[in-house]
Amino acid sequence: MTNHQEPGVQDLLHRATGDLSPDVETLVAGGIARGRTRRQRRRVGTAIASVAAVGVIGAGAVVVPQLFGDASTPARGARGADENRQVASAPEVRAQRALIPTDQMEAVVRRLLPAGLAVTGLSVRFDRADPKSPAHRINFTVDGASVSIYIDQYNPQWRLDKGYEPITIDSECAQSSSCEQADDGSYLRKESRVPQWGEGMGPANQVSNDASFWGVDGYRFYSMALNTGAEKGSGGIVAVEPPLTSEQLATIISSDLWYR
């Protein structure tokens, strides 16, 4: 037991949650189902990596289905915007370039933005909220509307070992018909949508243009332009449409200027 300075807070947390009664049976069944899917994906990913390592890519189409039978998750092709596409893992990291220093990112953002925009409040923060996976967060407004860019690394094995959510392309692209692979192996997703923050946290009529980029340097970029002054809560609608299109965001986040 710990020696808390605030026994009242400990009691408060216990009282606030002590009578919560989750549907344990449903949660356990759901957890096991997700776990089986996750395990199967890892096996498929490992099988594909093994096949690729010995240069027998052509044999993979034959070997992988035989390994897992008809009921298994197939290793679907990665290229194109086919909604049946599924990718087993993130792009292979090749000759990873380092990102530019944090203090140079503001200048890069300004250089990549279309000319003539009224940009205010541009901030770049190196966020260590997750100590094992720090990320850059870039926020600014254009004509009062919120734009954000987020950069971190994807898919190292330790994410799984540490109990982190594994970052795979299919978890993002499977939900989008607009995720495509470029010739260099990187992936780019562009879409417009209505954000759903839940619990009434987002303003009504809020819309978002998004772009995500998984580069072969091992970094993933998310970008989002809203027609509101903030992502959720306060901020309100400031325009009918976000100030940047998904295409413009995609151009920004896939630029070589982000690397040394």
Partner 1 sequence: MSKDQEFEEFAVLRTPHLYRTAWLLCGDAHRAEDLVQDTLAKVYVRWTRKLGRRLENPAGYAHTALVHTWIDHQRRRSSHERPVGELPEQGTPDGDPSLRLSLAAALDALDPMDRAVLVLRYLDDVSVAEVADRLGVSPGAVRNRSMRALSRIRDVLGTSLPDLLIP
Q: Is 79 in the site for partner 1 (CB under 8 A)?
A: no
Q: How far apart are the first and last CA of the chain?
A: 49
Place of tokens 């995609």: 250
Q: Is 121 in the site for partner 1 (CB under 8 A)?
A: no
Least distance in angstroms from the C-beta of 40 to partner 1:
10
Least distance in angstroms from the C-beta of 58 to partner 1:
29
The answer to whether 98 touches 85, Cβ cutoff 8 Å, is no
Q: Is 241 in the site for partner 1 (CB under 8 A)?
A: no
The answer to whether 216 touches 188, Cβ cutoff 8 Å, is no
| Structure token digits, residue 218 | 């091992």
Distance CA 228, CA 217 (A): 32
> 108 vs 213, which CB is nearer to partner 1?
213
Distance CA 120, CA 117 (A): 9
Contact string (CB under 8 A) for partner 1, positions 139-178, x = contact = ---------x-x-x-------x-xxxx------x--x---
Q: Is 24 in the site for partner 1 (CB under 8 A)?
A: yes
Return the axis-axis angle of helices 24-53 and 57-68, rounded to nearest 10°.
Answer: 150
- Contacts to partner 1 by CB under 8 A: 1-2, 4-6, 8-25, 27-28, 30-39, 42, 127, 129-133, 135, 148, 150, 152, 160, 162-165, 172, 175, 193-199, 210, 212, 222-224, 231-232
